[in-house]
Structure 1
Amino acid sequence: MSETTNTAASPSDHIENQELPDSGYLLLAIETSCDETSVAVVRNGREVLSNIISSQIDTHRQFGGVVPEIASRKHVESMTLIIEEALREAQVELPDIDGIAVTQGPGLIGALLVGVVAAKSLAMALDVPLIGTHHIAGHIYANHLVGDILYPAIALVVSGGHTEIVLLESEGKFRMIGRTRDDAVGEAYDKVARALRFPYPGGPYVDRLAQEATEEVVLPRSWLEPDSYDFSFSGLKSAVLAEINRSRMKGETPEFSALARGFQQSVIDVVTGKAIKAAKEFGARQMLLCGGVAANKGLRTKLTELCAEVGLPLLIPPNKLCTDNAAMIAAAADMKWRRKQFSSLDLKAEAVMSLEEWSV
């Protein structure tokens, strides 16, 4: 891993001796890790003045998934316009900005590079601090935009490319205790959705069909080793495909709604079961649900029920803060802003980046 991955290592050379405002500060954040171009202006790490998101879903849908080269090009085309719109909605101007936050990684390297270059240019032009930020830290601290986080906490991260259980021992101190060994939840949803003949992105379609289903094809649960908090969904995806092929070989029409419900129930049982188990083992005072798949109605409902049963407070961001957005990047960057842990202008985009090493 590059030596620049841990952005807390040294302050930015151009603001090393600069006095920073104690209150009323504005962070402008940029998020370009995948196929959303997003810019936000956030006051004091909590108050979202603007959070502009330009989605590329319609562009990538025709290819059945994200095409990295196209995503990068779209970010370049959109960046200046999105920055201007974010400033306009927040009713501020560039000289009002006190710091620049940007997603440094993980993500698509070309897409990340567009955001990092834009952020470095703004930081240098405005002579303000630069904060390279971890994408998953952003998803986790999206919860801080809607409520106070109680430590220690367990974060269940479910997004397109990540399924993880993270222990937050204190503010900004991350410990990875479980992760996917193959497909993440979002990837599994998209692959199953394709088998069920839904367009990309397929997760919301599968969720809706599962909610409407009156029957369920019971599918296996992959719990792995008894003491493991890791996940594996490739076998579940294969089980769905096997059921479809079995029906067709018999000359029958596959029961897509029952399959969708069976798939979703299997996923939800495993991720929520492991999250609750982790919360008990590590003495968590709160559960955090994070990432794009956190918008899944079935998952939100089940986790809410389980947390209520064990008396564990639960925080879930609204849907607009679950998907990739820049406000969440500002919320995570705020922890480093307050500690004056800034990045230098030789900051590099990182396709693979350790959350634990990014800790404050």
Structure 2
Amino acid sequence: MLVLGIETSCDETAAAIVADDRTILADVVLSQLDDHRPYGGIVPEIAARSHLDHVDRLIGQAMARAGLTFDQLDAVAATGGPGLIGGVMVGVMAGKAIALAAGKPFLAVNHLEGHALTARLTHDVAFPYLLLLASGGHCQLLAVLGVGHYRRLGTTIDDAAGEAFDKVAKMVGLGYPGGPQVQEWAAKGDGDRFHLPRPMKGKPGCDFSFSGIKNAVRLLVESLEKPLFDQDKADVCAGFQKAAAESIADRTRRAIELMQAQWPQTSHLVVAGGVAANKALRASLEQLAGRAGMTFLAPPLNLCTDNAAMIAWAGLERFRLGQSDRLDFAPRPRWPLDPTAPKAKGAGIKA
């Protein structure tokens, strides 16, 4: 079984072909970082225009690398949401056109489900497992119980983790995207020089909050001599990264307790999303999982950030269960994995 995946929900245009034996035959990603860097963040109109300019070419490259024609595909999957709606529309229309022309089933994939199921593509993890999804637009803890079956245990009540990293980087005068910059500078800093709050730590539930720590960094930076010395920048980044990692670990610890109580067969803690690339966070979560008797699992970095292989795989998982979507599917700017969960207020791209 061969599925073409298309991803255009944010600032990466991507196409991939995945087989049901978990082989990634092709995986092509075009980043728009250079387009958005002058603005210090993602500009939706620029993102949508770039997707429109490049998606056909990238799909062609993926098909050529896999050595396939559209007739040889079994299905076509595209991110149907959540995301920047202009970009989502580009990918959905491209996927529908190929599916119609080739006479193949079309699958509209929830972008978050793509992240949620990546561990099954890379490591064949059995259900259920606990997922921490942390990115520029999302920060959630999810019980992954099956394809299309998710229970949200916690979510951000204000800002997403990745958004906080980007804003802190901007405050101390670093480049965009902020996550890699903060990690690089934190490695040269003292995480104990400045004490920053650990939002929600020790409180009931599994929800996150990052606005308080972000504001604390703002006040701290305003109090320091200008221009900031390099050591000040490094220490601020180190302090923020340490506080964020500890806060996330505390919330995840509570989610592990819930998982082990309700689904005792759970054996894996999985992390996905762009923030999952942060080494300090990974180390903290790996230690946490070990203490809980669970296996920590993080997909390769290229499959943690947005990519089309995860979309193809999620589509393949749905397709072999007999599912597909009509060609009148409407792209969705918001699309919760757990529709029964209370509506969240999170920042950026909400779900």
Listed as ranges, the matches of 1:22-61 within 5 Å are 25-44=1-20, 46-61=22-37
Give, in angstroms, the shift of residue 45 of structure 1: 6.3
How much does 1:150 deviate?
3.0
2:90 maps to 1:109: no
Which residue in the other structure is 1:353 paired with? 335
* 1:71 maps onto 2:47 in alignment: yes
Q: Find 1:339's aligned residue among 321, 326, 345.
A: 321
Inter-partner Cα distance in structure 2 for 1:315 and 1:215:
26
Q: Find the residue that maps to 1:345 and give its secondary structure.
A: coil
Q: Identity percentage over the alignment? A: 38
Q: 1:199 Cα deviation (Å)?
A: 1.2
Residue 214 of structure 1: CA displacement?
Answer: 3.5
For residues 295 and 249 of structure 2, the distance between their equivalents in structure 1, rounded to whole angstroms, comes to 14
Counterpart in 1 of 2:184?
Answer: 208
- How many Å apart are 1:310 and its aligned residue? 2.2
Shift of 1:146: 1.5
Alignment of 1:239-318 (within 5 A): 239-248=216-225, 253=229, 255-283=232-260, 284-318=266-300
Given residue 243 of structure 2, which amino acid in structure 1 is its aligned partner?
Answer: S
143-152 vs 184-193, greater mean Cα deviation: 143-152
Matched, 1:191 2:167: yes
Structure 2, unpaired ranges of 5+: 261-265, 341-351
Deviation at 1:142, TM superposition (A): 1.5
3-state SS of 1:255 partner: helix
Deviation at 1:357, TM superposition (A): 4.6
Q: Say if 1:45 and 1:271 are closer, same or farther in 2 by CA, change over 3 A.
A: farther
Gaps of at least 5 residues in structure 1 are 1-24
Residue 128 (structure 1) aligned with residue 110 (structure 2): no
The residue number in structure 1 matching 2:58 is: 82
CA spacing shift, 1:252–1:100, aligned 2, 3 Å: closer
The Cα shift of 1:212 comes to: 2.2
* Worse-superposed segment, 312-321 or 348-357: 348-357
Offset of residue 215 of structure 1: 4.8
Matched, 1:181 2:157: yes
1:306, distance to aligned residue in structure 2 (A): 1.7
Alpha-carbon separation, structure 2, partners of 1:36 and 1:170 = 27
Q: Which amino acid aligns with 1:244?
A: V
The answer (yes or no) to whether the contact 2:201–2:247 under 8 Å persists in 1 is no
CA distance in 2: counterparts of 1:138 and 1:224, whole angstroms: 29
What is the aligned partner in structure 2 of residue 3 from structure 1? none
Corresponding residue of 1:5: none
Which residue identity is paired with 1:31?
Answer: E
| 252 and 205 in structure 1: CA distance in 2 versus 1, 3 angstrom threshold | closer
User: Which residue of 103, 113, 128 maps to 1:152?
Assistant: 128
Q: 2:185·2:234 contact (CA, 8 Å) conserved in 1?
A: yes
Q: Over residues 50-98 of structure 1, what are the superposed CA-to-partner deviations in whole Å (9 max), with x where a residue is unaligned?
A: 1100010001101111111111110111011101110111111111111
Query: 1:46 Cα shift?
Result: 1.8
Verify: 1:169 aligned to 2:158, yes or no. no
Q: Secondary structure at the match of 2:311?
A: helix
**Aligned residues between the structures:** 333
Q: How far is 1:128 from its partner?
A: 0.8
Distance 2:287 2:138 in 1: 23
With over 3 angstroms needed to count, the CA separation of the structure-2 counterparts of 1:149 and 1:172, relative to structure 1, is farther
Quote the residue 1:21 is aligned against. Answer: none
SS in 2 for 1:355: coil
Per the normalisation by structure 1, the TM-score is: 0.89
**Partner SS, residue 51 of structure 1:** strand
What is residue 323 of structure 1 aligned with on the other side?
305
- What is the CA–CA distance in structure 2 between the aligned matches of 1:302 and 1:356, rounded to whole Å? 27
Runs of 4+ in 1 over 2 A off after TM superposition: 169-172, 251-254
Partner SS for 2:338: helix
Task: Give yes or no for contact 2:139–2:160 (8 Å, CA) kept in 1.
Answer: yes
TM-aligned CA distance change 1:268 to 1:96, over 3 Å: same
> Larger RCO: Structure 1 or Structure 2 (Cα < 8 Å, ≥ 6 residues apart)?
1
The offset of 1:259, in angstroms, is 1.0
Match of 1:19 in 2: none
TM-score (norm 2): 0.91
Q: Is the 8 A contact 1:101 1:333 kept in 2?
A: yes
DSSP-derived class of the 2:123 partner: coil
Q: Distance in 1 between matches of 2:217 and 2:176?
A: 18
d(CA) in 2 for partners of 1:54, 1:321:
14
CA contact (8 A) 1:172 1:335 kept: no
Secondary structure in 2 matching 1:92: coil
Counterpart residue number, 2:347: none
